[in-house]
Homo-oligomer: A and B are copies of this chain.
Amino acid sequence: MGQGKKAGISPTRSEDFPAWFQSVVRDAEVAELDHVRGAMVIRPWGYGIWELMQRAMDEKIKASGADNAYFPLLIPLSYLEDEAKHVEGFAKEMAVVTHHRLEKDADGALIPAGELTEPLVVRPTSETIIGRSFAKWINSYRDLPLLVNQWANVVRWELRPRVLLRTTEFLWQEGHTAHADEAEAREKTSEMLEVYRAFAEEVIAVPVLTGEKPESERFPGAVSSLSIEAMMQDGKALQAGTSHYLGTNFSEAMGIEFTDAEGKDRRAHTTSWGSSTRLMGALVMTHADDNGLRLPPRIAPQQVMIVPITRDDPAAVEQAAEELAAELRGLEAQGAPLRVKVDTRDRKPAEKRWEWIRKGAPVVVELGERDIESGVVTATRRTDPDLGREQIGRDEAAGRIAEIVDAMQGECLAEAAERLAARTADDITGVEAFREYFSGDDTDSGGFVRAPWSEDPATEKTMGELGVSVRCIPFDQNLAEGAVCVISGAPAKVEAVLAKAY
């Protein structure tokens, strides 16, 4: 362990995983719940991570052919009435705007005034608004496919809010597409799930399973819901992106119709797909440790933080630090120029080193007068569990640091993939072994069970009593002939992934 004020995360992962998560998010200055119950402030360091995630996701979405657009935040109640008629399981927890003015009452206190004739709902998702715009824009088969994405904030009134995972307001992208036929729409649904899978693994180094949701976990109104599922360090699953084939259900409700090449009127087949700031929760619970956050380099706002250790001649040391920074910025990691900053703030070097370790900068470099004299720099690699100081000759420093940063992306993914493999059990048979596997608490939530499943809703009730659910029917099915359901012992229809989940 290095010298200087070490400020590890309290409690540790093994002491209390949920409390550890909250501490990391707070101490790494990623985000905080504040101001309104369940509302989240994303702090500059956290938002820097989100911007890099957003940019990488946006590139992939644009490459899929979708254009960005923006639709209104406030939805007329009548739109939701129409949806409620068509959609079972319609969610009802949402923020409702009923007035459009503030007035002072007799005591001078502000009160709502100007009651609206029709209340407005703050969008929890935008199918109802975007679908109606689609209905207006689409006339002929020549207007199809229509592929639109929106980056936006949405509000869902969460009863048990949790930073990054379940907040009243969150940021997301929601894609909406309309197609002439089912095959094309289903293909788009799969294509966008693949975008999410690639993003999770390549960009945030979170390995995921891909598959279809069981009927009980389908998006209300969807014919089929696909998802990516990641495993957190406590063994729980986190759904990190979903892609829905909506059939003609929403087209019917909103009148999305077109004239085909033969002049016949037909309903469009639609899809929707979304991913959110929840991905940052996945990032933290996958990569953080008891010293704080660890950031895969592709989404680290700064990949190398240089801390000058100044005593007699601060200007000379800072200049040497800036020279190293400039050299590093000329090099690349993961296909982009290195992001490097010299931390010249008026604080103690040890304090700064620990701050950047806690915030997850991939490499922290210290550079003092003695280092300059000896022709070395001192680097701390965030993936070194001991956080030891590595001395590197000044001449080879930039190249070596770039290599370390470049390699760290793969190290992060490999470590998480190893955990996912190690904590996925495919040999659980019978409900007793199943119960035993999931007998831990919130700090040890078991892991994933891959097992034959009957698809009988009664088995989901049994699982539910243990806090377990069917996360997905994975695409890579491996069901032995004659296999029986892990819960009921009845003939299995599919292989399913079962786990506790966020």
Contact = CB atoms under 8 A, between A and B. Distances in A.
A142 B346 contact: yes
Contacts of A42: 69-71
B84 A94 contact: no
Contact of A94 (B72, B92, B102, B133): B102
A114 B94 CA distance: 10
A48 interface: yes
A34 B133 contact: yes
A420 interface: no
Interface residues on A, range: 35 or more
A169 B73 contact: yes
A42 B149 CA distance: 12
Contacts of A84: 104, 110
Given A95-B100, A98-B96, A77 B110 contact: yes
18 contacts: A34-B72, A35-B75, A36-B76, A36-B120, A41-B69, A41-B71, A41-B133, A42-B69, A47-B67, A73-B122, A74-B169, A84-B110, A92-B101, A94-B101, A95-B99, A100-B157, A114-B157, A142-B346
A119 B169 CA distance: 16
A311 interface: no
| Chain A to chain B: the 6 pairs with minimum beta-carbon distance, closest first | A44-B67, A39-B72, A42-B70, A96-B99, A100-B157, A96-B112
A104 B71 CA distance: 27
B96 A81 contact: no
Most chain B CB inside 10 Å of its own CB: which residue of A110, A112, A136:
A110
A93 B101 contact: yes
Contact of A100 (B46, B94, B169): B94
A68 B51 contact: yes
A165 interface: no
A345 B142 contact: yes
Most chain B CB inside 10 Å of its own CB: which residue of A73, A101, A157:
A73
A101 B77 CA distance: 12
A72 B119 contact: no
Given A48-B68, A110-B81, A74 B39 contact: yes
A171 interface: yes
